[in-house]
């Protein structure tokens, strides 16, 4: 009965390059219970966390690869630019103590992933993920280096999450509230 949080982590990673690279990650949750139970040293917890996130990223990459292969075979245009999204279930102990839901969206060859508790409202989580992706596109990926900017402009990523996924909390924001928060976000990003 050890418990964790609702949105455990948010991450962005590459989907077409090998090896898979995590460009940005933010962990809100108590993701290390499994490691603690297994008696991991405190010093190694960070590296375990990184491995866990990489494990999830690789699964998303595989999922997307499958999706892409199917699309290729179907003869539909191989469209990396279109938003593609999906869900995954992580089994208990693999890599987190309890089962988790993974919600992902691929835009511009970058995967945006939320790892949530199973009882999270996935409809809203999906909307928030789409919103985060849109904001990242506007504020972060706009530069010449595109997805690489996610790695280089950690402050902007942090600002977006701070405003729209505070402490991993999935909010039910209507369009007016989103507009209001976007103004605050702009202040945060350009704020002197």
Partner 1 sequence: MATKGDLYQQARSVDGKDFDDWVQLVQNTLQLNDRGQQCLTLLRQLCVFVSVTKYSRNLAPTLYALLQNVVLEPEQGPPRIRLMASCILRELCPSDNIAVKDFNPPVEESNIPYMLPVLLAQTNGRGRISQLALEIFRWLTETGYEEELCLVALSSLYAICSHKRALEKFSEDHFRALNLQMMGWLKQANCSSAQMPSSSIFSAGGKKQMFPVKEIDGSVSQNLFTLLSIGGYYSSDQLLNIHVFSFLRRWTLVTHMMRVGVAPSPAPDYKDMERSVSCQSRDGFRSTSVTSAFNVAGSLRLQSSLSNPLSSIPNPLPATPLGGTTQQTPMASLVGRARQQLREAVVQYCLRVLDQCERKPPKTAEDDLALACLYESIAILDVQCTVHRGLLSAVFPTCKKMYTRWAQDSAVIPNLLLVMVKFLVRHSDSEVFDMQAPLENIFGRVLGSQFANFSFAFDTVDYLLENQEALCRHSTAIFTRFFPNFLKILAWAPVTYVTEFLQLLPSFISTSTALEVLHSLLDLPCLAAILQIQQLCQDGSTKPVYACCMAAFQDTSNKLLFRHYLRLESGRGDTIDRLGLLHQLLGDLSQHPRVNGAAEITPLLLRVYFQTVLYGRDAGVISQVVGAVLERSTLLFAIPAFQEGIKRVFAEQLLEFFKTYPNLVVDFHRDVQEHLSNLRTLATGGEPLYLHLAWAVGTYTHICYNPQCTSNITMEFFETLELAAYEVAMGHRQKPAYTTRLVLTLMSALAKLASRSQDLIPRTLLCLNKLVQLTTAENPSVGAGASSCKVLLGHASELVNVLKMPTIAIQVLSPTPSKEKGWDEQQARTTRILQSVVHLVQTNKEHQTPSTPSGGPPP
Phi, psi of 7 (to 5 degrees): -95, 115
Query: Is residue 17 part of the contact set for partner 1 (CB under 8 A)?
Result: yes
Could you give the string, one character per residue 107-136, with x where binding to partner 1 holds by CB under 8 A and - elsewhere? Answer: ----------xxx-xxxx-xx---------
Determine contact, residues 7/132, Cβ cutoff 8 Å: no
Minimum CB distance to partner 1 smaller for 137 or for 146: 146
The continuous run of DSSP H or E covering 113 comes out as: strand 110-117
**99, 108, 133, 140: which one binds partner 1 (CB under 8 A):** 99
- Beta strands 22-27 and 100-107, pairing class: unpaired
Query: Is residue 142 part of the contact set for partner 1 (CB under 8 A)?
Result: no
**39, 74, 83, 129: which one binds partner 1 (CB under 8 A):** 74
Closest distance of CB 38 from partner 1, Å: 12
The Cα 158–Cα 166 span in angstroms is 10
With H, G, I as helix, E, B as strand and everything else as coil, classify residue 8.
Answer: strand
Minimum CB distance to partner 1 smaller for 114 or for 159: 159
Query: How many CB atoms lie under 10 A from the CB of residue 18?
Result: 8
Q: Interaction with partner 1 in 33-72: which residues (CB under 8 A)?
A: 33, 36, 42-43, 45-47, 49-51, 62-63, 66, 69-70
Query: Is residue 78 part of the contact set for partner 1 (CB under 8 A)?
Result: no
Q: Interaction with partner 1 in 171-190: which residues (CB under 8 A)?
A: 171-177, 179-180, 183, 187-190
Separation of CA 168 from chain center: 11
The continuous run of DSSP H or E covering 78 comes out as: none
**38, 79, 142, 154: which one binds partner 1 (CB under 8 A):** 154
Question: Which residues does residue 27 pair with via DSSP β-bridges, in sequence order?
Answer: 9
């Amino acid at each position: 009965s050890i418990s964790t949080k609702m949105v455990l982590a948010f991450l962005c990673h590459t989907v077409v390059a090998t090896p898979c690279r995590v460009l940005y990650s933010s962990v809100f949750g108590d993701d290390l219970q499994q490691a603690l139970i297994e008696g991991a040293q405190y010093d190694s917890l960070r590296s375990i966390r990184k491995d866990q996130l990489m494990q999830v990223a690789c699964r998303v990459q595989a999922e997307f690869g499958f999706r892409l292969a199917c699309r290729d075979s179907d003869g539909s245009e191989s469209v990396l630019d279109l938003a593609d999204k999906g869900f995954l279930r992580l089994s208990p102990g693999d890599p987190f103590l309890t089962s988790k839901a993974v919600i992902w969206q691929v835009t511009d060859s970058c995967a945006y992933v939320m790892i949530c508790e199973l009882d999270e409202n996935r409809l809203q989580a999906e909307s928030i993920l789409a919103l985060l992706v849109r904001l990242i596109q506007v504020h972060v990926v706009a530069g010449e280096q595109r997805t690489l900017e996610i790695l280089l402009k950690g402050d902007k990523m942090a600002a977006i999450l701070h405003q729209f996924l505070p402490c991993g909390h999935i909010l039910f924001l209507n369009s007016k509230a989103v507009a209001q928060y976007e103004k605050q976000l702009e202040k945060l990003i350009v704020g002197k």
